[in-house]
Amino acid sequence: MGFGRAPPRGGKVLLCAAGKQAWQELSFNVGTAGAKIFSGPAAEEFGYSVQQATNHEGKWLLVSAPWSGFSRNRKGDVYKCPVSGSRNSCDKLNLQDSVSIPNVKNAIDNMCLGLTLTRMPADGLMMCGPLWGQKCGTQDFYPGICAKLNPLFRPQPAFSPAVQTCGGPMDIVIVLDGSNSIYPWEPMTAFLQKLIPALDIGPQNTQVSVIQYAVNPKFEFKLNKYKTKDEMVAAASSITQMYGHSTNTFHAIQYARLWGFNQNNGARSGAAKVMVVVTDGESHDEAFRDTVIADCEKQGITRFGIAVLGYYIRNNINTENLIKEIKSIASLPTEKYFFNVSEEAVLSTIAGTLGNRIFNIEGTGKGGDNFKMEMSQVGFSAHYSSQQDVLMLGAVGAYAWSGTVVHQKGSIVDILPFSAFEGTLQDRNHSSLLGYSVTTLSDGHTEYFVAGAPRSNHSGQVIVYTFNAQKQSAIIDSERGKQIGSYFGSVLCSLDVNRDGVTDLLLVGAPMFMSELKREEGRVHLFSVTKGILNEQGFLEGPSSTENARFGMAISAVPDLDLDGYNDVVVGAPLEDKGKGVIYIYNGEKETLKKQFSQRILGSKLDPQLQYFGRSLDSYKDLNDDTVPDISIGAYGKVVQLWSRGVASVTAKASFNPNKINIFNKPCNINGRKLTCFTANLCLGAAFRPKNPVGPIDISYTLTLDADLQASRVTSRGLFTQNNERFLTEKAKISSASLCRDYQVYVQVMDESNLVSLNDSHPALLLFQIPFTKDCGSDDVCVSDLVLSVLCCSSAPVLVSANNRELSFEVVVKNKKENAYNTQVLATFSSNLYYSSVFPPETDGVKCTSTQTQTVTCQVGYPALKTGQEVSMKFQINFDYNFNELENKAEVTFEAKSDGKEERPADNKVDISIPVQYDAGIVLESNINFYVADAATPVVTAVKTLDDIGPEFNFTVKVSTSNFPVNLLYLTIALPLTTKGGNPLLYVTNVDTQGGSISCDSSGLVDPLKINGKSYKQSFSEENLRGIEKLDCKSAKCNYMKCILKDTEIKSAYFVKVKTRIWSGTFLSVVLTVSKPGEKGDVPVGVIAGSIIAGLLLLALAVGLLWKVRVCLHVSVLS
C-alpha cells in the first residue's frame, strides 16, 4: 500500500501483498521431504526399471534387477518394495527359475529377466527377459521371453513369440567306407563320436543310422535303434572295420537311399533326409553315379561328401579324380556340402563344422546363413495398447540386428517382416536396432504404432506405422535424428496433454546428444501429431551443456501432476551432477508442454550416496491416497519414492475504511501527533486441488506501502502503525475459509503553511553539460582520414571442407588526420559465413560483437584513433563457413566509420568476393571376398553351370559422402576379364547397387555367355604369368563399368557389389624350388595368380578408382 508523489488532493493508495508457502523453495508440488528410499544389490543393477503396482495387500514398487545372480549368471529377477510403512527394504520375488517354455531346451543363465517391465490392463504387469535363450543342437538362440504377473506378482505361463523350431524331425544316414585302404580305423569312429553329440538327437528331433561298405553295404545300426546320444555314441565307438578290396560307393549310396530312409527301418514321413558319405578312394562302380545321384535328388536327400586323402597322399597318387568324384556326390553348392581332409587322423576336426551345416538345414530348411528371429531378443521393449488390446514387443536383434516389432493380440502373434521397414530404415549395416523403444499414438479413431531405431544411419530414427485393410503394415511417417551417435529414438513417450483421448505430442529421447562443449548433454525432442504425421516443435530446455547428463534417458507421462487439467511429464538425467542424477518436471499447457521446467530435483539433495538417479521412472499412480499421482525414480542400487502434494491457489482481497483518504481529517493520535489514517482490511483464502486438504497451510506474506514507487530515495508517506515502516511481513494459517486481518496505516503530510509556491513560469528541468576535449584544432571539429585495408587469401577459389572451414581477414585501420572518435569497422557478410572470433583479443584495443544477422561491428582504439595511429598494426577477424548455406562465393564488405567528419570516404570501404568450391569429401572403400583357386580343381571346358567356371570372387565398392550434397558423381570400375594372352580371368555374374539413386552400366559385362544349363565350350592356351607382380590394365585386358550417382545425401553411403567367378582353367600346377636346398614342392599357380588378382583388384580400387575417380569427381561433381 502506498502513496505516490501526488498533489494533496486526488492521491492514490497502492497495496501489494506477496506470499509463499513456508516450505516452498525453488519447486512446485513434488515434495522432497519424506522421500522414501529403498536399497537393493547394485551389482544386480537393482533400479534398472521401476513400476508402480497395487493389489489387495497394498501398494508397491516393482523394481527390476536384470543382473540378479551376478557374477555366476545374469538370470535377472524382480523385487517388490512396500510403499506404506517405515520399512525401506524390498523382497525378492525369485521369479528367475519360474519362467520357461515347455518342450524347449531353455537357456536362462543370462536372460536378464526384468530388463523390461510394463503396465498391462486391470492393474496387471508384464516382465521380459530379452536374452532368454534356447538350445537347438549345438546352437544357442536368443528369441527372448515374457511373462505376465498375477495380482500376487506370481508369473503366468511364459511366452516367446519368436521361439525357434529346431528344424523338426531329421533322418541322417552316414555311409562309411570300410575298405582296406582306410587306415587307421580309429579316426573313423572318433569322427562319429564327435559328430553325434553335435546333433539334436531324439525321437522327435534327429535320428541317425550308420551304414558301412566296401564291396557290399551293411547296417551298423538303423534310424530307430537308439533314442539317446549316449546310446548312439557307445554303439558308434564299437563299430569295427569290415575290410574289402573294392570300394563300391554308389551301390552303398543306393542301398542307403532305398533302405536307410525306409520307414520299416525307422524313417519318418515328412522328416528331412540327410546323407553323409565318407570315403578315401575312387569308386569301382562310377558308371552308376549319374543314375544314383539323380535318384537321390528326386527323393530330396541332401548329401554331404567327405574325401579322406590320406591313402592317396601316402602313396603319391594324384587326388584330382577323387575330389572330382566326391564333389559330384555332394549337393550344390559344393562349397557348402563338400569337405576334404589330408588324412584319417584329422577327420574329427571337421565334425563340428559338419554338425553346424547340418543344423542350418534343420533351422532354416534351406541351409541358409542369414539370421531372422533367432537372435531377435523379443521383449527388449514393450507397450500395451488398450485401444486395440494389442501388445507391442520390440525385437532389436531380429534380421541381423536391423530389428522389428512383434504384435500380439490374445494368442495371435504377428512378427513384422524385414520388408516392412527395409525401405524406410535403409539399413545397410544391419544395426538399426528397431524396436529399442515402442509406443502408440491415437487421433481418437485410428491408432498409430511407433518404433524407435536409435542406430539407424548412426543418427537414429523413429517410424510411425499402421495396418491397412489387408492387415499389412503401412509406413505413415518417419523422423531421423540430427546428430550421429545421439541415440535418437531410444526413448519414446506419447502424451495426451489436454486429456481428450487424442495424442498431442510424441517425446523422443536422444540421451547421448552431444553439446558444443563435447558433453553428453542429452535432448528430448517434441513432435506434434496430426493423423500420425510428426511435426517437430523444438525440444525441452534441460541441463547445462557443460556436463554429461544423458537428459532423456527416461521419460514418463504424469496424469495431471499439478491438477490444472493438463497432463505433465517427468524426465531423467542420470549422469547430471557428476553422476548423482537429476529429474526435471514439465507442465502441460493446452496441447503442448511448457519447454521450461517447473521443478528440478537433485538426487544428491535426497541422499548424497545416490548414483544415476533418474535412470528409470514411473508416475502413473497415486500411492498415498491423496488423489495426486506420485513419482518413483530408479537409481543405481536404489529406488526413490517422492510424494506429490496438493496445489493451493491463494487469493487476497483488500478493502479500506474509509474508502478515500481525507488529509483534512486527522482522527489518529500517533506519538502525540494528529495524523490522517485509515484501516486496510486484508482477507486471505485458498482454493485447493484436490479438495479437502488435511488441515490449513502455512504461508508467509508481505504488505508493501507505496508499492509503485520506482526509486528507493523517494520516501513513502504511508506507514504501518504496527512498526512505523512501509513493509510488514506476517505469517498465517489459511484454508478454504477466508482469514481477515485489519492493519492501521497513517499518512505523513507536510504542513502546507510552511510551504513556498514555485514560480510556474520558470522551467522545472534544467540541463548542464561539460564537454570532452576533442583535441581537433581551433574549430573543435574532428576531420579524420581513415584508411582501411583488408588482406585475405588469393583470388583462386577456396576449397572448403570439414577440416578447412575457416576464413580469415587481416584488417589494418589508420588515421592520417585529426582524432577519430568511436572508430568502428563494420563487416557485412554473406549467408554462407558466420562470425567466429577476433585476434588479438579485446584487451589489445579491438572489441568485436555480432548483434545483427550477418553483421559484425569491431570497435577499434576506443575512445579515439589518434592522428597517425595504427591499432596494434593490425587485427584479424575470423569467419567460419556455414555448411547449411552453400553458395558459389563468399562476400564480405568492410567499412570504417567514426563520429567525426571523414575527408576521403572512398578508402573507408573494401568489398571482397571469394570464389568457393566445396570438397565433396568422397571416400572410396573396398571389401573383397577372396577365394584361392586351388590347383587341384579340375578344369571344366564344357561349362554348364557357374560352378564349372570356378570359385566365387566378390568385392564391394563403397562410396561415402561427407558434409555436402553432390548432384552428380561418376564412378569407373576397371575389371580385368582376360589376360594379355586371351585366357579368361574373371566372369561377371551379377552387379548390384544399394543406397539410393545409383546406376551402373553393366550391359555386356554380366553373364555374357548366358550360362543357364546350356553347354559352352571354353578353351585355354598356355601362358606364363611368372614375373608379373601385378595385373593391372597394362598387363591384362580390362573392361570398364561406369556408374552414375545422382543427388547424393550428406554423410551417406552407396554401394556397388560385383560378383564374379575365377576361371579355374587359366591356372595350372608348376613345380617351384622352395627355400630349403634340395627340396621341391607343388605350389598351385592359382595361389600365385590369385594373389595377383587380389593385388589387381586392390590396385583397381586403391589406384585406378581412387585416383581416376577423384579426378573425375573434381571435374564432374556439381553442387
Mean pLDDT, all residues of the chain: 84
Place of cell 546428444: 513
Task: Please tell me which residue, 839 or 489, carries the higher pLDDT value.
Answer: 489
Return the CATH number at 279: 3.40.50.410
Last residue of a domain, one of 623, 644, 665: 644
Count of alpha carbons within 13 Å of 1009, Cβ hemisphere only? Answer: 20
Round to whole Å and give the CA distance between 992 and 1057: 5
Task: Please tell me which residue, 801 or 466, carries the higher pLDDT value.
Answer: 466
| Claim to verify: residue 508 and residue 523 sit in the same structural domain | yes
pLDDT > 50? residue 1086: no
- Which set of grid coordinates corresponds to residue 530? 496430426
pLDDT value, residue 1028? 73
Q: Is 780 contained in some domain?
A: no
- Which set of grid coordinates corresponds to residue 241? 572295420
Return the CATH number at 512: 2.130.10.130
| Claim to verify: residue 437 and residue 564 sit in the same structural domain | yes
* Residues found in the chain: 1119
Q: Is 660 contained in some domain?
A: yes
By residue range, what is the domain housing residue 708?
Answer: 15-26+648-752
Smallest CA-to-CA distance from 247 within 347, 136, 321 is with 321
Backbone CA torsion sign across 226, 227, 232, 238 = negative
Round to whole Å and give the CA distance between 499 and 566: 7
Smallest CA-to-CA distance from 895 within 948, 857, 840, 943 is with 857
Q: Are 433 and 400 in contact (CB under 8 A)?
A: no
Return the CATH number at 1112: 2.60.40.1530
Q: Is 184 contained in some domain?
A: yes
| Claim to verify: residue 20 and residue 42 sit in the same structural domain | no
Q: Are 236 and 190 in contact (CB under 8 A)?
A: no
| Claim to verify: residue 558 and residue 627 sit in the same structural domain | no
Q: Is 795 contained in some domain?
A: yes
What does the pLDDT look like over 758-812, one tens digit per residue? 667 777 676 777 766 777 877 778 888 888 999 887 778 888 887 788 888 999 8
pLDDT > 50? residue 277: yes
343-369 mean pLDDT: 70
The beta strands (E) that lie in 764-854 are given as: 783-784, 786-791, 798-800, 806-815, 820-821, 824-829, 833-839, 846-852
Among 215-219, 362-366, 532-536, the minimum mean pLDDT is found in: 362-366
User: Hey, how many other C-beta atoms are within 10 angstroms of the C-beta on 632?
Assistant: 27
Q: Is 946 contained in some domain?
A: yes
Q: What is the C-alpha R_g of the chain?
A: 42
Query: Which residues pair with residue 570 across a beta bridge?
Result: 556, 585
Q: Are 402 and 430 in contact (CB under 8 A)?
A: yes
pLDDT value, residue 1072? 34
| Claim to verify: residue 626 and residue 652 sit in the same structural domain | no
Q: Are 216 and 253 in contact (CB under 8 A)?
A: no
pLDDT winner (highest mean) among 149-158, 608-617, 726-735, 820-829: 608-617
Secondary structure letter of residue 42 according to DSSP:
G
Round to whole Å and give the CA distance between 1108 and 1098: 14
Query: Which residues pair with residue 509 across a beta bridge?
Result: 491, 524
Among 22-31, 905-914, 1031-1040, 1084-1093, the minimum mean pLDDT is found in: 1084-1093
Smallest CA-to-CA distance from 362 within 562, 511, 164 is with 164
- Which set of grid coordinates corresponds to residue 412? 495371435
Rounded percentage of the chain residues whose pLDDT exceeds 70:
86
Q: Is 378 contained in some domain?
A: no
Q: State yes or no: cis peptide before 690, omega within 30 of 0.
A: yes
| Claim to verify: residue 622 and residue 656 sit in the same structural domain | no
| Claim to verify: residue 957 and residue 848 sit in the same structural domain | no
Return the CATH number at 701: 2.60.40.1460
* φ, ψ of residue 191 in degrees (nearest 5): -60, -45
pLDDT value, residue 554? 98
Round to whole Å and give the CA distance between 626 and 604: 27
Helices marked H in 426-569 — which ranges? Answer: none
pLDDT > 50? residue 328: yes
- Cβ density class 387-420: b for 16+ within 10 Å, e for less: ebebbbbbbbbbbbbbbbbbbbeeeebebbebeb
What does the pLDDT look like over 1020-1029, one tens digit per residue? 887 777 777 6
576-600 mean pLDDT: 94
pLDDT value, residue 686? 83
Secondary structure letter of residue 990 according to DSSP:
E
Smallest CA-to-CA distance from 496 within 559, 585, 561, 583 is with 559
pLDDT > 50? residue 992: yes
pLDDT > 90? residue 509: yes
Q: Are 1088 and 964 in contact (CB under 8 A)?
A: no
pLDDT band per the 50, 70, 90 thresholds, residue 1106: very low
319-326 mean pLDDT: 93
| Claim to verify: residue 700 and residue 620 sit in the same structural domain | no
Task: Please tell me which residue, 979 or 405, carries the higher pLDDT value.
Answer: 405
pLDDT > 60? residue 873: no
Task: Please tell me which residue, 440 or 181, carries the higher pLDDT value.
Answer: 440
| Claim to verify: residue 1000 and residue 937 sit in the same structural domain | yes
DSSP 1016-1069: EE--------TT-----TTTEEEEEEEEEEEEEPTT-EEEEEEEEEE-GGG--E
Task: Please tell me which residue, 356 or 784, carries the higher pLDDT value.
Answer: 784
- Which set of grid coordinates corresponds to residue 157? 505361463
| Burial status of residue 488 (CB atoms within 10 A of its CB: 0-12, 13-18, 19 or more) | buried
* φ, ψ of residue 255 in degrees (nearest 5): -65, -45
DSSP 922-956: -EEEEEEE-----TTSPP-SEE-SHHHH--EEEEE
* Residue 1042 Cα distances to 357, 489, 698, 1003, angstroms: 39, 38, 82, 10
| Claim to verify: residue 408 and residue 278 sit in the same structural domain | no
Q: Is 604 contained in some domain?
A: no
950-959 mean pLDDT: 85
Task: Please tell me which residue, 985 or 17, carries the higher pLDDT value.
Answer: 985
Domain count, the chain: 6
Secondary structure letter of residue 1085 according to DSSP:
H
User: Hey, how many other C-beta atoms are within 10 angstroms of the C-beta on 915?
Assistant: 11
pLDDT > 50? residue 22: no
pLDDT value, residue 223? 94
Task: Please tell me which residue, 358 or 240, carries the higher pLDDT value.
Answer: 240
Place of cell 571376398: 929
pTM, full prediction: 0.60
pLDDT > 80? residue 19: no
pLDDT > 90? residue 1114: no
| Claim to verify: residue 351 and residue 490 sit in the same structural domain | no
Q: Are 508 and 527 in contact (CB under 8 A)?
A: yes
Q: Are 438 and 383 in contact (CB under 8 A)?
A: yes
pLDDT value, residue 21? 47
pLDDT > 60? residue 1068: no
Last residue of a domain, one of 884, 918, 952: 918
- Cβ density class 956-995: b for 16+ within 10 Å, e for less: bbbbbbbbbbbeebebebbbbbbbeeebbbbbbbebebeb
| Claim to verify: residue 950 and residue 979 sit in the same structural domain | yes
pLDDT > 80? residue 13: no
pLDDT band per the 50, 70, 90 thresholds, residue 501: very high
Q: Is 991 contained in some domain?
A: yes
What does the pLDDT look like over 639-671, one tens digit per residue? 999 998 888 878 889 999 998 888 888 899 888
Task: Please tell me which residue, 841 or 880, carries the higher pLDDT value.
Answer: 880
Return the CATH number at 871: 2.60.40.1510
Q: Are 492 and 462 in contact (CB under 8 A)?
A: yes
